Amino acid sequence: MPRLFVALALPPDVRLRLAGLCNGVPGAHWVGLEQFHLTLRFVGEVDGTTADDVADTLDDVTGQPFELKLKGVDLFDKGRNPTALWVGIAEKAPLVRLHEKIDRRLGRVGLEPEARKFHPHVSLARLKGAWGERVAAFLAAHAEFALPPIPIAAFHLYSSHCGRDGAHYRIEQSYPLAGA
């Protein structure tokens, strides 16, 4: 069964800049260079027929190209236990609109809306037992991180395959935004 998600691809130069952030926190499981992306909608494991339905229904998602602005770093936590480090998004409105359109389309093929609120970000690391001064120092050192705007002209349906050396992502289908 394929494991699917809908995401924005990031250009190689952006992925290199993000990879440059990935150090300085012992115990962090850093994202690999080829894995940087911005998830718009997690689908999960689906059978082949549902995967085909997902791919087909995304053809009907419309939207205008926009610029993605990566800015700042932060973390997700559960209580006092940080779970992930990530790069934030300066202007979320275009992403929220695209996410909502994708979510509605996927509902038409029987997929439930995501239970958690959409929080656009680019993951840098998963954290397990890493807290304290090193995480706080990382956040402080990169608080002003920002990249020039990234033109976004398409979104993609990805599959994820787990191997011995972690997950591998592959673009299964691309969906240009109007005017792209």
Is 98:152 a contact under the CB 8 Å cutoff? no
3-state DSSP assignment of residue 157: strand
Cα–Cα nearest to 69, from 11, 151, 154, 179: 151
Place of tokens 């779970």: 83
Cα–Cα distance measured from residue 168 to residue 171, given in angstroms and rounded to the nearest whole number: 10
| Domains in the chain: ranges and CATH | 3-176 (3.90.1140.10)
pLDDT at 46: 93
Residues β-bridged to residue 166: 163
| HSE (side-chain half, CA atoms, 13 Å) at 175 | 22
What is the predicted pLDDT for the residue at 179?
Answer: 57
- Are residues 24 and 137 in contact, defined by beta-carbon separation less than 8 angstroms? yes
Residues 109, 85: Cα–Cα separation, whole Å? 33
Look at residue 84 in the predicted model and tell me its pLDDT.
92
pLDDT by residue, tens only, the chain of 180 residues: 679 999 999 999 999 999 999 999 988 999 999 999 999 999 999 999 999 999 999 999 999 999 999 999 999 887 677 889 999 999 999 999 999 999 999 999 999 988 889 999 999 999 886 667 888 899 999 999 999 999 999 999 999 988 777 788 999 999 999 854
3-state secondary structure of 39: strand
Stated pTM of the model: 0.93
